[in-house]
A and B are shown apart, each in its own frame.
Chain A
Amino acid sequence: MSAAPVLSVRDGHKRFGAVHALKGVSLDAYRGEVLALLGDNGAGKSTLVRCISGVHALDEGEIRLDGDVASLSTPALARGAGIETVYQDLALFDNLTPAQNFYCGRELAFPKWLPRGLRFLRAREMDREAASVIDRLKVRLPRFDAPVALMSGGQRQAIAVARATVFARKVVILDEPTAALGVRESRKVLDLVRQLRDEGNAVILITHNMEHVIDLADRAVVLRQGRKVGELKPERANQQELVSLIVGAEA
């Protein structure tokens, strides 16, 4: 962790009209590390994530990737820069199959000299790749050619996480990836998180589950009402402190 951070946010501000959702948040993420991003409902966690992944732009402050100021003004740019996000609402397309969901927005297609939208899909290649990934991650799906609409909450979550896993190169952000899952399925997702970390990604994990934080996170950053109110190494011994940072009461 002595190395330079792969991602750092400096003094980020974000307003939605009258709502000041981020009030000068700074944060560093390092390769091979799981950073837990904690905070009560409405603390600004998803907003921060959406600024990093290019959905929103920060009003003030900057985001650095590998030390350089990065322009992440669109999700395509952020994805291109190696930042993968599992959004809180999963961002799946109900009308598409798992493989189509995997590659949506960066389809394998030819010929390269045409503008992206006019290229022809390499459908079979995408199906094959996606199937092998799903297999490797031990995600069980009922059918691979059915639209995602027909799959259960756990399966959908697994598809969204698996999608990020495949394309992750630097930073992976997971916004409450286990929120809708049972114990068994949660464990599977957490295994994926470990795998992502071991592959050298910086993982930013948002969750309300303290067990998962203590199990998995190397560091925790706590937001409250758009401000960073603490940063510590989560352990069983300081769980109480962590919780009171989140809810804002004195321990």
Chain B
Amino acid sequence: MLAEATRDPDAMSGTRASEDRAGTAAVALGLRLLSFGPIVILALLVLAISLLTPNFLKPVNIGNILAQTAVIAIVAMGQQLVILTRGIDLSVGANLALATVIGGLVFRVSDSAFLVILAMLATGTLVGFVNGAVYVFGRLPHPFIITLATLSICRGLALELSINHTTMRGMPAGVNYLGETSSLGVPNSFFVVFGVALLVLVMMKSMVWGRWTYAVGGNPKAAVEMGIPVKWVLVSTYAFAGLCAGIGAVVLSGRTGASSPLYGNLLELDTIAAVIIGGASFLGGRGHLGHALVGALMIGVIRNALNLLNVDVFYQMIAIGLIIVLAVEADVLRNHLEGRARTNQARAQ
């Protein structure tokens, strides 16, 4: 081994230079195309569907899509941050349901929109915090199990607290306003999505916290070695995902004017699907706000279109499943192309 280190592994350099340059350009082009893939697919979907059914692009229907997508979009933004740090949150749907039920219980004693909203947001954040704290300080190898456990606990708690009512009617006017009313022809829930998106954008792009979530997702070991408080980054990420579930609860309760322990069923899968088909990497470290939003919109558009076309629900599921496979393959291809780019670099040296 001592002799080996003195050998020169640099002998390859200088060969096949022009060929490499062409290869490098092709790889760069491929990576660029992949990064725009989801948006292109969304645009093609919209185009194809609007040709199939003229109702699709009517303002009323677009308003419908936005309103129906709002909850998935909001919760997906939290899920996206969790996935960015190499995690997963299976509890978001049940967390949302529990938050609506707690909000409903508060509404029984007070019709203050402020208190009801506060209760929902606090519930969501607390559940998220517990997820993160148990995962990190309980030294679990992966967040899968703990969020699966809180999924079960939240759903059970929501059923228990609602005393087996499947729906509890009534929400304060302020909550209905956020979830149901429209302003300037645009559903108010869209503005909620917009607000959350703005917040997430600032946190991820401009704040140290956002940089740290990328670092933790990119290389957790190095994040420790570079002195990043990895444990707190993770706990706060799960707490934030919980907060997003709480915001989703406000919007959904507002839209339906009710709360229910059955809300948010399979929302964890929808949000994970949204993040992945939007183009974020399931392996962590790679992804941004746009991925969650584009993915959520894609799911919303597919659901809406198949409704308009009177297609059975199970075809919706199959369609979304196929797109997930496509998205994951695109991620694999991206990693492959990056490997190619790296070897090209080494040879060009």
Contacts and interface: CB of A to CB of B under 8 A. Distances in A.
A95 B208 contact: no
A155 B44 CA distance: 40
Interface stretch (B102-110, B258-266, B313-321, B337-345): B337-345
A229 interface: no
Nearest to B335: A149
A119 interface: yes
Contacts of A106: 226-227
A30 interface: no
Given A79-B227, A91-B219, A117-B232, A151 B342 contact: yes
Contact of B345 (A53, A80, A87, A142): A142
A183 B8 CA distance: 6
B218 A94 contact: yes
B226 A210 contact: no
A54 B342 CA distance: 32
Interface stretch (B47-55, B113-121, B209-217, B301-309): B209-217
A241 to B, nearest CB: 14
A151 B348 CA distance: 11
Given A93-B215, A96-B215, A208-B5, 15 more contacts: A74-B227, A76-B228, A91-B225, A95-B218, A96-B211, A104-B215, A117-B229, A118-B209, A121-B206, A123-B206, A149-B338, A152-B342, A184-B10, A208-B2, A209-B6
A117 B1 contact: no
Contacts of B207: 117-121
- How extensive is the interface on chain B, given as a class? 35 or more
A70 interface: no
Interface in A78-98: 78-80, 85, 87, 89-96
Contacts of A109: 208
Interface string A219-249: 0000000000000000000000001001000
Interface string A58-78: 000000000000000011111
Contacts of B346: 152-154
Nearest to A107: B208
27 contacts: A54-B227, A75-B224, A75-B225, A77-B227, A79-B227, A89-B222, A91-B221, A91-B222, A94-B219, A105-B223, A105-B228, A106-B226, A117-B233, A118-B209, A120-B206, A123-B206, A142-B348, A149-B338, A152-B345, A152-B349, A153-B346, A155-B345, A178-B5, A184-B10, A208-B1, A210-B2, A243-B2
B286 interface: yes
Given A55-B224, A55-B225, A96 B218 contact: yes
Nearest to A182: B10
Contacts of B228: 76, 104-105
B64 to A, nearest CB: 37
Nearest to A183: B8
Interface of B: 1-2, 5-6, 8-10, 13, 206-209, 211-212, 214-215, 217-219, 221-229, 232-233, 236, 285-286, 338, 341-343, 345-346, 348-349
Q: Is the contact region of chain B dominated by helix, strand, or loop, or is it mixed?
A: helix
A41 B5 CA distance: 13
B206, B208, B214, B222, most chain A CB atoms within 10 A: B208
A131 to B, nearest CB: 18
A77 B224 CA distance: 12
A185 B346 CA distance: 12
Contacts of B212: 117
A123 B190 CA distance: 31
A77 B286 CA distance: 29
Contact of B285 (A53, A95, A105, A184): A95
Contacts of A125: none
A53 B212 CA distance: 20
A150 interface: yes
A107 B1 CA distance: 39
A127 to B, nearest CB: 13
Contacts of B343: 152
B43 to A, nearest CB: 26
Among A77, A150, A210: residue with most chain B CB under 10 A? A150
Contacts of A184: 10
B218 A121 contact: no
A201 interface: no
A229 to B, nearest CB: 16
A93 B222 contact: yes
Contact of A182 (B9, B209, B218, B236): B9
B227 A76 contact: yes
